[in-house]
Every structure is written in C-alpha cells, then in structure tokens.
Structure 1
C-alpha cells in the first residue's frame, strides 16, 4: 500500500514551522485548538500561504455546536475570503441542523462561496445520527474529504465505523481519520481501517518559563498563561511520518 498522507492541525506560528519541518503533507490551520479549533487569524493564514505545504483553513466562527445562524454564516463567508486572499489551498467546513444531520442549505452556501478552493468536511460529520446517509450527503455537496473519528471520542474507538465508511466511499471521497492518533497506534489503525489519510495534532507540553516579578508568575496570576499549554512538536510529526512511511 502507498504511504497514507499526514495532515497536521495547528494553531500557532511556531506550530506551523514545526509541522513543515517535521514533514507534514498537509496542514489544517486553526486557532484555539483547546476549543477543538476555530478560524485562524489572517496573519497566521498569510504565513501558511507562504510555507510551501498545502494548507486548508478551518472555518468555524465560534466554539460550541455546529448549528450556525445567519450572523455565523456571514462571518464564515468573510473568513473564506481571507483564506482565499492568503493563497491557501482550501477550507474546512461543517454545519449541522438541530437534529445533528448535515445542514445542506448552509453547507451549499459556504461551498458556493468557496468556489475555486478545495473543501473538506470537519467533524460535524461525527454528530450526524446516520453516518452512511451523511456520507452520501457530503459526496452530493461536493466535498473532497471527510475528517472523522467514527463518531467516537477517538478514532481508535471508532475504527469499525471508519473502516465501513472507507468501503462505502470507495474512490468517491477521501475518508480521513483523526482524533487520538499518534506514534505508537497509527500504523495498526491504518492496517485495520484502510484509510489513506490521517489527521493529528502531534502536540507536546511547552516548557515552563521561569517566573519573574515582571512576567512568568504574573502572567499566570492574571490568567494570561494557563497550566498545560501545548504546541505542535516537530519530533512527534517526524515520528508519525516515519510510522506511515514504514507502511509504504
């Protein structure tokens, strides 16, 4: 089998540099990964547009559910414009109806606005009540790729569903697995499911800067720095790529 492609999601300039240096095949550009990802800032989009690696920007106007109203959709159309202006390859979209089904009207509008850009469906897919039906909806809308954990907190737990989606999709759309994939489990997961693309954060804890009266400790006291901050690790990206290369 050919080596599966590796997409890295990230949300900082340093993370972008680490993913590029580590050998990512594609980047999903975000902000606020601790909130499962929001639309990245224009400055980060511009940096990614010049990084030399195919980059898709997540288009998600706020945290919370994927049921978006007119104000959200207006903001997301403007975010799509920013991604296009930055020279990015595409955008990652998703929108749900209140019952969890994909919102075909909202998605059709966003896809039309993204004309000329690649479009991928994010994990709004995972909250749909009928994955087989949602797969057909995504194909009909014109998505090139679906990111999914199989409707479970992590892709390893959703492996059976993902394998079924891969079979159902055939060559019509790419099923990309993500959530909980890391060095040590990704190779076995790919063998079990047959996915051709995987998505990972490859994040590691940031080193703690010694506190000073002027910075450090005061940053934390005022709430600007929270414990457990993480960022993309070049070493983890490299490790993921090595495991995937061994499959090819």
Structure 2
C-alpha cells in the first residue's frame, strides 16, 4: 500500500512551520479553533503563504455554528475567496447547507467556480448531512475535489465503516479525507480499513493551539 498524505489543520504561523518541518504534505489554515475553524486573518495568511513551500489551503467560514449562511455572509465568502486567491494559496475549504440539512448546490457550485482553478474541499458540514451517499454524488457534480469527514461520527474511529464505504463509492472521483480525532495511535488502523489517500489532523496533543512535532512525525511514520 502506498504512503498516505497528511494535512495539518493550523491556527497560527508557528503550527504551520512545525507542520512543514515535520513532514506534512499540506496545511489547512483557519482561525478560532474552539469554533471548529473559521476564515483566518489576511495578514496571518500572507505570512504563512510567504513562509511555506508546501501546499496551503484556506478555510472560508464566516463564523462558527451551523453551515446555513445569510446573503451577506455568502457575499463575504465570495469576497474572501477572491482576496485569498491573490496570495496564491493552493485551495479552499468550505461547505454550505440548506436549513433542512441538505446541500446548497447553487451556492457551493458558485464558490467552486469562483475558486477555479484552485481545488476545493467540502469540510465536516458533510457529517451533518442527511443522505451521505447522495451528498457524495452531489459534491462531485459541484466540482469539489476532496471531502473532509469523520464518517458522520464524532471521531474517525467510530466512523471507520462509513469512511471505508465512502472511499469505495468515491472510486477515485473525489478524495475522501478522514479527519476528526485522527491521531498517531489510530491512523494505521484507519489506513488499513479505509484505504484513504489523504488524512487530516491538528496534531495538537495538549490544551493549546500549537501542533506537536512528534505527533506529526508519528502520524507520518504510520502512513
């Protein structure tokens, strides 16, 4: 089985540097860890972009809470994508749902088109959706390249069976990236069971917001 790749969710420049120095393949940059990640500050993103040589994806999420956005928030998301594109980031991470928990296909497709030619990841809003397998097909149609998911559970180990089925059904048309409670202690099991190619972790092992270099190295070693 070939080596898996690793994305590290980072909330500051220090973590992004630690991620790169310890073998991460990509950084997902966000703000507000306690909110589950929101759009990062422009100047911080600029500093991270100027420092990193590995790929940098940026979260586009105007606030914590649900994934149903007002017209104003949607316009804000469009503006942020246009602005961050100028920094030559490598991709975007977002997700918009309807009130009933279904995919807002029109708004997501509009953001994907705006981000083009940069690839887009649909984030863990996926785990709150009604029919995950129908959603998988819709996200492929929208033009997303990756889905970040814990398999509809609070963590990847509980969602391992769903993750394996998603990877199988995706059939290389879109990347299923397990994330949510992914650690060096469970990543080998996940790789064996799901056959996923890309994995996502914050690699934070304490109550702070800085990635742990040994944890990143250990995850990579087990991929």
TM-score interval, normalised by the smaller of the two chains: over 0.9
Does the CA contact (< 8 Å) of 1:11 and 1:33 recur in 2?
yes
Does the CA contact (< 8 Å) of 1:48 and 1:88 recur in 2?
no
**Match of residue 189 from structure 2:** 188
Q: Tell me, in whole angstroms, the C-alpha distance in 2 between the residues paired with 1:5 and 1:15.
A: 18
Does the CA contact (< 8 Å) of 1:57 and 1:90 recur in 2?
yes
Does the CA contact (< 8 Å) of 2:92 and 2:120 recur in 1?
yes
**Match of residue 239 from structure 1:** 218
Q: Tell me, in whole angstroms, the C-alpha distance in 2 between the residues paired with 1:230 and 1:28.
A: 14
Alignment of 1:32-43 (within 5 A): 32-43=32-43
Give a deviation string over 1:24-77, Cα, whole Å, max 9, x none.
Answer: 001111011121000011112112322101011010000100001111111111
Does the CA contact (< 8 Å) of 2:33 and 2:209 recur in 1?
no
Does the CA contact (< 8 Å) of 2:30 and 2:58 recur in 1?
yes
Corresponding residue SS for 1:203:
coil
**Match of residue 131 from structure 2:** 130
Alignment of 1:22-171 (within 5 A): 22-50=22-50, 51-171=52-172
**Match of residue 198 from structure 1:** 199
TM-fit CA distance, 1:204: 3.0
CA RMSD of aligned residues (A): 1.0
Moved over 3 A (4+): none
Does the CA contact (< 8 Å) of 1:156 and 1:189 recur in 2?
yes
Q: Any gaps of 5 or more consecutive residues in structure 1? A: 206-227
Q: Any gaps of 5 or more consecutive residues in structure 2? A: none
Q: Paired residues, what number?
A: 222
State the TM-score, normalized to the length of structure 1. Answer: 0.87
Pick closer, same or farther for the CA change 1:82–1:233 going to 2, 3 Å: farther
Q: Tell me, in whole angstroms, the C-alpha distance in 2 between the residues paired with 1:53 and 1:44.
A: 16
Does the CA contact (< 8 Å) of 1:145 and 1:176 recur in 2?
yes
TM-fit CA distance, 1:230: 3.0
Give the number of the structure whose alpha-carbon radius of gyration is greater: 1
- Bigger shift: residues 118-127 or 132-141: 118-127
Corresponding residue SS for 2:205:
strand
Q: Tell me, in whole angstroms, the C-alpha distance in 2 between the residues paired with 1:29 and 1:82.
A: 15
